[in-house]
Structure 1
Amino acid sequence: MSLYFYIYCIKLIIIYILFTFILMPLFQNTQLYNHIFFKKAYPEIFEPGTGKFFKDISFLWFEQKIIIRQVKEKYSLYNLYYFHQQKYQLKQALRSGRIELFVPSLKNGNNFCKIDKNGIQYKWRKGINLSPANHWPSIFINRRTPGFPSKKQRNIINHLQNFPVFIVRNGFKEIPIGVVTSRSEKNIGDILYNLYRDYCIWTRDNDIYSIGLFFINPQDALEFQNTIQYKYPRSTNELNLSTVAIKLNAAYMLNRTSPPHIQFRFIPNFQEISKLLTTYKYQKSVKFHPKQIYGNTYFQGQPIYIVETKDSEKDQSKSYIFTSKEVLDTEWNYIEKQNNSKNYLKNTTIIIYNLEDFLCDLEDKDDLSFHFFTNNDAYKFINQYSISNQSGFLPSIYESIQQSILFTNVWAKRIFWALTHFELIST
């Protein structure tokens, strides 16, 4: 036999030893091996493995089918060990949006028996397998409310300048956003995928989102600030957290133009809701708006009290909106003087509605004529705030200098901490 034959046999023996004693044990500890076993052990949950190497690789790094249905057989503890290994990856895929969940429709010939038999199938997109884009990248386009602001919305913005709402902000004039923990724990792949989904696919918030809060009562905002300071004392003291008043039109614009997965919500006056459900709703002069959702123990949104007046000479109507029934009762003299009528409120029905739906209804109206009244706590807070915070050229320069000092102070402390602290590696 020739020398080439012996060399060829030696190569085969080396390859066999390398594959059997080195590569195969390493492969058994990889995700791919567990994935192929997992699909074969759990055909009711995941699409069964084919046993073909390259096809199973495509399942692992391109797309996998998930079948949700009732499992009748019991699994051994050995199989459940691999289930827990895959469960973490499944959670991450759900959080990052690579698995798009939906509720199956009973239309198109589907019924409960068919769904129970075949299960519900979902696609788990992996790697470079991305969902098709719905539109061009919308970096500078408002996708939450396309075309905002329209002509009617500009008119609403102009009418909401004199009503205050309250926010909690830091020394950089930033509103703290409540972020879900699962959205903050991501790797670089999930971050890039979410950017693609937010700017090329997103049309509405179908999954978890972050929340910014607007308060009608300043006492609720102060309580929220105290809660943040109690839970995060170091950060709040470092960033100079405070409660300030802003105009309702600014809150309205943020609510309509917030980025994907960030929503701004109005937090109602809880004391007012309590009084409304226990006392005010039983008064004869009040009536709930037909669209208002309420019950014996609940009320949707921030309650407002609408008093509509009409000038018979000019054939014009005007609405007075109150966020507090107590303020409405004390301001009735003002409305009577405007209408030249005594005991006007006794002959007028007060409509109870909520602020959020009221603003939505205004977007369909051409003529706007209304006046807002806030609560007593807001009046007191604004008076104190206006005394302690003066507006002008010099105060604005002083405020910008304070922000620069705060920025330098915060980052100097963080850099010093990073250079002087280290984490012990657990063994």
Structure 2
Amino acid sequence: MERRLFIKTAIALMAGTALTGAALAAGPITWWYETATPEQQGVITRNIIEPFNAAHPDDSLSIDYRGAQLDNQMRVALLSGTGPDIVYTAGPSYVAPMAQAGQLLPLDDYAEQFGWNERILPVFLEMGRYNGQLYAVPKTYETLGLFYNATLLEEHGWTPPTSIDELEALADAMLAENIVPFSSGNALWRPTNEHYVSLALNAIAGPENVYKALNGEIPWTSEPFAAAITRLNEWWQKGYFGPNYFSLNGEQQVAELAAGRAGMMPSGTWQFQHIETYFPPANAEAGFVGFPSTEDVGEPVFPLGVGSTFSVAATSQNPDGAAAAIDFIFSDETYTAMNTEWQGEWNTPLSDLSGITLGDDVLPLYTEAMQTLAQSVAQDEYGYTTWTFLPPATNSFMVSGIEEVWLGRSTVEQYLAQWDATFQQEMAEGKVPAIPAR
């Protein structure tokens, strides 16, 4: 991790800069959030809302949980000039159109004031830029990998796969034992489809080719992508995804894996929040490794994802307060508190984690996975998740279109042709998110 920039910011200095922002702001600060359980809402209230308001008595930060309709409601609100002060999006692909439409405030002055340029890993600041200005900072960064039921594998004498060929051999062995190879499902979140597309692109086509396509150097119809989607489709047709894909949600995937009805789960690090709920009661142990790659790609690639971003609305009545609230979230104290109670959703990309000590109850597997991801980012060895790096219309088609391929209504060639056509149009319109140089 020698290439990673470590800059330690003293707690007293951070508190001082936060108060500087608070001195400029006054009044209510509104923030719309996505789905959260009552328990998770309590975690946010006691670790963010209450301490921020206590430290900023002239402001009043409040949060409104909008659930699965957040994205649609946010688009409508911003178009009409209403909505919250803090704009919370599903990822960088949503930021460019909003910035282009003048719906977001540039954050460069706040980044300088609060020291974000030093406190946040540079690659993530680059991902929040549009036309050279900073419009968003990421709430969390994440990756995709392969969870597995370690207890089940040991019982059958199986080992975690280290290549695509080994992955397929293990999946075939599981099918022979009436075990679903991939615990998966998109019942409550159709974009779950893109988790598997992202894995195939990086593990089979390779991140270098994905990078070229994102920059318009090669089309999405190129042979490496045809090979990746073809193989992904073969996994579907062979039954790797099981018979209940369209009726299982994300949490149920973990339950199926823990129960041993499924053996592996290609998914993201956000699933760590459910591991402790389901594995101990099932007397099972979870494992997590990088998703295996082809021989041409080499070592497992950890696709880099930004699960959500923070921006400030151009129509905000309290932009200084909104920026101060965002700054509060990017503190050592908030990182420690949120990741101790809620793993997988609050891995804010701080440049220096040397002062962070998580609670004793945090699963070591989670800590190891985050360290591995941080090292991959620092060494520019990461891959690309579709929801972070594709523009919105392309990403939307990619999610729905892969189902057409799986269900035999479209060919791989037709799918990629429409994908490429949509992408080229959005690239011409300036809607492709910023792609950091490798």
Q: Which TM-score band applies after superposition, normalised by the shorter structure?
A: under 0.3
TM-score (ref. length: structure 2): 0.22
Instruction: Select the structure with the greater relative contact order (CA < 8 A; seq sep ≥ 6).
Output: 2
Over alpha carbons, which structure has the higher Rg? 1
TM-score (ref. length: structure 1): 0.22
